Amino acid sequence: MKLTTVRISPLLHNLLLSASVIVIIAGMRAASPLLGPLMLALFLAMLLYPAYQWLLNRGIPTWLTVSLMIVGILLVGVGTLALLWLSIEQLRTNLFLYASRLTAQAGRFQLWLETLGVDAPRLLTQELLNRQLVISTTTGLLTTIGSLLSTTFFVLVATIFLLLQSTHLSARFENDLESHNVLSTQALQVAQRVAHFFSIRVRVNLVVAAGITLWLLVLGVDLAVLWGILAFFLGFVMYVGLAIAALFPALLALAETGPTTLILVIAGFFIINVAVENVLAPAMMAQGLNLAPVVTLASLLFWVWVLG
């Protein structure tokens, strides 16, 4: 039987390729609730693999190396989650007090506007900051922290399993590289670049979180460590992440000491964000990946949009 070769025009080939890419991206976006945590676990495993390999190279048995990595991951993860949970509980306990203080601040603001001849509406009175609002806010916070706890636990477990399989996967990659497998070589290069990029983003967010925590401690804002942790995680959401993270400590500062501290908190978040995101982050990413900052930023925005 004679086989005939079907030739596809370059235009049709490009259209089919573009359609395939769009379908793949749409599928990844639809599966982002599951794919996002899995990708995060994969990135964490890539970041931890050098430490895992370093322990193995020191002659430590595999079972002991795996045990040490699991204990380390659990200690850091559970410790962070416990600190986060205790801070949320403290916030929930004092929520009524903060609400009453915000009501008092709103009353003072209204009186100040009336001295200026402004007929100020009662926007933040007791009717607004009532018991129902406090209860709904508390419920929302507890729901959010519960979702974060479950997602983080899933990520930690997935990271541990990926580390357990890392030796086997590494051996397969080495065999493919020795046989000059182009696909495996490219996949390894992509994985190394992604892991390096994620490590840079983690370091940038750590700098932001440390700066914000120190600034809030200087200002005397309650739960400064909690707001620093929140800023670290929301720092992965470009542009709006730190704005959302600044909302809670700003309101808390207003309730505790007044509008002056509120302005200082917002100014601190803004200055730290501008300094890190526009100076430190582009320089680190461009240096580490040999890419222009605009390309790095566009890629980050794209994958944040795809994975959520």
Residue 209 has a pLDDT of 92
For residue 207, the surrounding DSSP H or E stretch is helix 182-219
Instruction: Give the burial string for 200-225 (b: 16+ CB within 10 Å, else e).
Output: bbbebbebbbebbbebbeebebbbbe
Tokens, residue 72? 């380390």
192 compared with 13, residue with greater pLDDT: 13
Which two three-digit tokens encode residue 280?
Answer: 């430190």
- How far apart CA 254 and CA 266 sit, in angstroms, is 11
Question: What does the pLDDT look like over 193-248, one tens digit per residue?
Answer: 666 777 777 888 889 999 999 999 999 888 888 889 888 888 877 667 788 888 88
Higher pLDDT, 214 or 292: 214
Q: Which tens digits make up the pLDDT trace of 7-50?
A: 667 777 778 878 888 888 888 888 877 787 887 787 777 777 77
DSSP string, 101-139: HHHHHHHHHHHHHHHTT-----TTSTTTS-HHHHHHHHH
Cβ neighbours for 293, distance < 8 A, ≥ 6 positions apart: 282, 283, 285, 286
Q: What secondary structure letter does DSSP report for 6?
A: P
pLDDT at 176: 55
Question: Is 60 exceeded by the pLDDT of residue 121?
Answer: no
Measured between alpha carbons, how far is 12 from 295 in angstroms, rounded to an integer? 28
> How many CB atoms sit inside 10 A of residue 28's CB?
16
**Rounded Cα distance, 268 and 274, in Å:** 10
Q: Which residue has the higher pLDDT, 270 or 171?
A: 270
pLDDT digits (tens, 9 = 90+) for 280-291: 777 766 555 555
CB 226 within 8 A of CB 87: yes
Mean pLDDT of 82-110: 75
Q: What pLDDT, on the 0 to 100 scale, is given for residue 82? A: 80
For residue 128, give the amino acid letter: L
**H or E stretch covering 7:** none
Torsion of CA 198, 199, 203, 206, to 10 degrees: 70
pTM above 0.85, yes or no: no
Whether pLDDT at 108 is above 90 = no
Q: What's the pLDDT score for residue 173?
A: 57
Q: Is the pLDDT of residue 96 over 80?
A: no
Domain boundaries, the chain: 32-180, 192-308
* Integer CA distances (angstroms), 124 to 53, 96, 99, in order: 57, 15, 10
Query: Does residue 69 surpass a pLDDT of 80?
Result: yes
* Unique residue bearing structure tokens 């030739």: 7
pLDDT range class, residue 128, cuts 50, 70, 90: very low
- What is the rounded CA–CA span in Å between residue 42 and residue 307? 14
Token output for 304:
């944040």
Instruction: Give the whole-angstrom CA distance, residue 190 versus residue 72.
Output: 27
